Amino acid sequence: MDEIGFPQEGVSAPKDMAQQDGAYRVLARKYRPQTFEDLVGQEPMVQTLENAFDTGRIAQAWMLTGVRGVGKTTTARILARGLNYEVPGVSDKPTVRLEQEGSHCKAIMEGRHVDVIEMDAASHTGISDIREITDAARYRPATARYKVYIIDEVHMLSNAAFNGLLKTLEEPPEHVKFIFATTEIRKVPVTVLSRCQRFDLRRIEQPKLVGLLRRISDAERIEITDEALTLIARAGEGSARDSLSLLDQAMAHGAGAIQADDVRGMLGLADRARVIDLFEYVMSGNIAGAMDELAAQYTVGADPAVVLTDLADFTHLVTRLKIVPKAGDDVSVTETERVRGHEFAEKLSMRLLSRTWQILLKGVHEVQSAPKPLAAADMVLVRLAYAADLPDPGEALALLRSGGAVPAGGGAPVSQGGGSGGGQQGGGPRAAQSHAQNPALSAPVAAVAGGRPRLEAITGGAAQAAPQPMTYAAPQETPEPTAPAFTLANLRDCAALASEKRDIPMKVAIMRQMRLVKFEPGRIEVQPTEDAPADIVGEFGRKLTEWTGTRWIVSVSRNQGRPTIHEEEEANQEQMLSDARSHPTVAALLGKFPGAKVVDVRVQESEDEDAELADPLLNEALGDDDPDEI
């Protein structure tokens, strides 16, 4: 397949690619690179090859891998040209410095040299095709220095073909070189990879891709704005071929000077400023405004899935700005994104951004597979707007403990929207105290009354609707909060406390992995079982101190401890089963039903232990009409 070339400087259509018959030649082929200097974004690979050629350490095979359109096949041809570079009286050895056209260069780059054989593995997958290569490899090249085999999409070869190639690939004749290209490196057997030098061709960075598109558009005398080029480069996702194909399409679509709006309409993109406005609507909980904005973007041609993808990209940008403020200095970030992104980063919590990212990531796939994408995107925005107001489990528990109840609509009863200068909402002193104790609640929130949200703008100030009273649980007479008092007398009490704190792993560890040696107030000595984690004792002490508010020291003892709680319970249960089996009534019942067995014993709380034996059905089963004679 054709790969894209990336000229760096002085871009112009190569003379040998002139349109002799008047047919149009797409940009991806017209500006295909001819030398290593023309490759964009692959400097590490070029440096490695240059050092190898200068020192004479030339490998027998290379594996070029990367995503579509980064120049794998083009690089293979340039590498074959460098291996066979020859200029009479100037150069007669392999080199990466291809300043002038050599004797074999034109034929190699056009794919018609007799000693540079290109094979598409997608259409030549069998062992017979590889057998032709191995048989021909024994003969020396006709005119060039090396006989070079370029196998594109090598992962498409069959297992038999790979196996047939191994021996020749491991010990090829001195005059034979192999160059493989693939987009699916994981499908290539390790036995083949171990015999090759591997080069991972990277995606082209967006600034370099924009520069490449600018040079080509100038060479083509096309008027196009920098913003339009940025949109094309962003849509190309690091692939020069995709980007040049989109530039070709934009040239046909614009029919003259190409503006950013032309590219947006062609690609179904939304204006970045409008995407940020949509993000603000969602983060402030303004569902109606968010749905109207999405509908307006859809009317002018924006794809709902693309809009959600742009929302996810902006969420990622805000998250990066919150962690690394210098991320806004990237040239690919517009001034609007930089300024407003910093504002959002200061006001939104990391928990909210993470939750937004997860919902959008799932929502994009839902919209792409939905029969009505716009309706699916609306529902994703509704989910986002309500999620912006939802406290996480820890916050909800803190609110409930502080006396406030989470409203029925899902909003958290907090005091303000999070930004500096944010206006106060209703909620009383308990909600304000909860907000002060939980900085994570500084995200924009909505108080819900009657199932409809009352929203406060993310930037602070007055709410968009008239304030309404918050909904709380019925007030209760509670004493002043005091430090909780826990009385722990043994490990069973500790296990009960862990259960109350909903720490099930620690409860299981206490019951099954600790043998008690000594128990005193504030100090416990245990002997861990063999399967206990190494840090379980220290973790037990830390959690006891945290739960009780009193310092507890838990240490490991070398003395033999008592059986674990679980072992004691099992022994007690086994004893109860044994006693039950030996009971005369149970023994008589087991005798009446061959194969029956006692599997469990439950202690009845009734004062009359023999009341159950008076059941007529039991008497009938035992074959006796008088229960007193049993």
Residue burial 12-37, b: 16+ Cβ < 10 Å; e: rest: eeeeeeeeeeeeeeebbebbbbbbbb
Q: What is the 3-state secondary structure (H, E, C) of 293-360?
A: HHHHHHHCCCCHHHHHHHHHHHHHHHHHHHHCHHHHHCCCCCHHHHHHHHHHHHHCCHHHHHHHHHHH
- Residue 73 confidence (pLDDT) above 80: yes
- Residue 481 confidence (pLDDT) above 60: no
| Whole-structure pTM value | 0.52
Of 387, 406, 416, 418, the residue nearest 470 (C-alpha): 406
- 66/196 same-domain check: yes
> Rounded to an integer, what distance in angstroms lies between the CA atom of residue 496 and that of residue 508?
11
Q: State the average pLDDT over residues 381-402.
A: 74
Give how far Cα 100 sits from Cα of 19, 83, 145, 502, 586, Å. 22, 15, 18, 76, 104
User: What is the structure's pLDDT at 447?
Assistant: 36
Give how far Cα 321 sits from Cα of 227, 271, 307, 316, Å. 22, 21, 21, 9
User: What is the structure's pLDDT at 331?
Assistant: 62
- Length in residues, the chain: 630
Tell me the CATH number at 215: 1.10.8.60
The domain in which residue 332 lies consists of 272-386
For residue 20, name the pLDDT band (cuts at 50, 70, 90): very low
Strand partners, 120: 152
> Rounded to an integer, what distance in angstroms lies between the CA atom of residue 104 and that of residue 87?
9
Query: Strand (E) positions, 122-217?
Result: 147-152, 176-182, 197-200
- Residue 208 confidence (pLDDT) above 50: yes
Tell me the CATH number at 495: 3.30.300
Q: How many CA atoms lie within 13 A of 349 on its CB side?
A: 20
User: What is the structure's pLDDT at 407?
Assistant: 47
Query: Please, which residues have CB within 8 angstroms of residue 464's CB and are 6 or more apart in sequence?
Result: 286, 454, 455, 456, 457
- 72/117 same-domain check: yes
Query: Please, which residues have CB within 8 angstroms of residue 185's CB and are 6 or more apart in sequence?
Result: 63, 65, 155, 193, 198
The answer to which of 140-149, 179-188, 422-431, 481-490 has the lowest mean pLDDT is: 422-431
Q: Residue 305 in contact with residue 373, Cβ under 8 Å?
A: yes
For residue 337, name the pLDDT band (cuts at 50, 70, 90): confident
Give how far Cα 420 sits from Cα of 346, 347, 389, 416, 467, Å. 9, 8, 18, 10, 20
- Residue 539 confidence (pLDDT) above 90: no
> Rounded to an integer, what distance in angstroms lies between the CA atom of residue 199 and that of residue 206?
21
Q: Residue 351 in contact with residue 443, Cβ under 8 Å?
A: yes
- 378/514 same-domain check: no
- 188/293 same-domain check: no
In terms of pLDDT, which residue wins out, 263 or 382? 382
Residue with tokens 């704190």: 501
- 70/87 same-domain check: yes
Q: Which of 154, 181, 200 is the last residue of a domain?
A: 200
- 529/559 same-domain check: yes
- Residue 348 confidence (pLDDT) above 70: yes
- Residue 332 confidence (pLDDT) above 90: no
Structural domain contains residue 266: no
Structural domain contains residue 10: no
Q: Which of 200, 221, 250 is the last residue of a domain?
A: 200
Q: State the average pLDDT over residues 376-399.
A: 78
Quick one: CA torsion of 338, 344, 349, 352, rounded to 10 degrees? -100
Q: Which of 541, 566, 591 is the last residue of a domain?
A: 566
- 355/219 same-domain check: no
For residue 394, name the pLDDT band (cuts at 50, 70, 90): low
Q: Residue 188 in contact with residue 155, Cβ under 8 Å?
A: yes
Cα 549 → chain centroid: 39
Structural domain contains residue 534: yes
Cα 168 → chain centroid: 41
Structural domain contains residue 41: yes
- 73/193 same-domain check: yes
Tell me the CATH number at 52: 3.40.50.300
- 243/303 same-domain check: no
- 96/184 same-domain check: yes
Query: Please, which residues have CB within 8 angstroms of residue 630's CB and are 6 or more apart in sequence?
Result: 585, 588, 613, 619, 622, 624
Q: State the average pLDDT over residues 504-514.
A: 89
The highest-confidence range among 103-112, 418-427, 618-627, by mean pLDDT, is 103-112
- 446/350 same-domain check: no
User: What is the structure's pLDDT at 164?
Assistant: 92
For residue 486, name the pLDDT band (cuts at 50, 70, 90): low
Q: Which helix (H) or strand (E) is 48 found in, with range?
A: helix 43-55
pLDDT tens sequence across 519-529:
888 889 998 88
Strand partners, 524: 519, 554
For residue 203, name the pLDDT band (cuts at 50, 70, 90): confident
Residue 323: CB atoms within 10 A of its CB come to 11
Q: Is residue 420 classed as helix, strand or coil in its secondary structure?
A: coil
| pLDDT above 90 as % of the chain | 19
- Residue 498 confidence (pLDDT) above 50: yes
Q: Residue 197 in contact with residue 163, Cβ under 8 Å?
A: no
> Rounded to an integer, what distance in angstroms lies between the CA atom of residue 55 and that of residue 47?
12
- Residue 51 confidence (pLDDT) above 80: yes
Tell me the CATH number at 314: 1.20.272.10
In terms of pLDDT, which residue wins out, 130 or 421? 130
pLDDT tens sequence across 161-187:
999 999 999 999 999 999 999 988 999
Q: Residue 144 in contact with residue 176, Cβ under 8 Å?
A: no
User: What is the structure's pLDDT at 429?
Assistant: 34
Tell me the average pLDDT of the chain: 77
Q: Residue 124 in contact with residue 116, Cβ under 8 Å?
A: no
Structural domain contains residue 20: no
Of 120, 167, 170, 112, the residue nearest 144 (C-alpha): 112
- Residue 44 confidence (pLDDT) above 50: yes
* Residue 525 token pair: 């000595």
User: What is the structure's pLDDT at 392?
Assistant: 64
For residue 158, name the pLDDT band (cuts at 50, 70, 90): very high
- 172/217 same-domain check: no
Q: What is the Cα Rg of the chain in Å?
A: 38
Residue with tokens 């940008």: 317
Structural domain contains residue 400: yes
Residue with tokens 């690619």: 17
Structural domain contains residue 24: no
The answer to which of 83-97, 275-289, 428-442 has the lowest mean pLDDT is: 428-442
Structural domain contains residue 461: no
Q: State the average pLDDT over residues 193-214.
A: 88
In terms of pLDDT, which residue wins out, 141 or 41? 141
- Residue 436 confidence (pLDDT) above 80: no
Domain count, the chain: 6
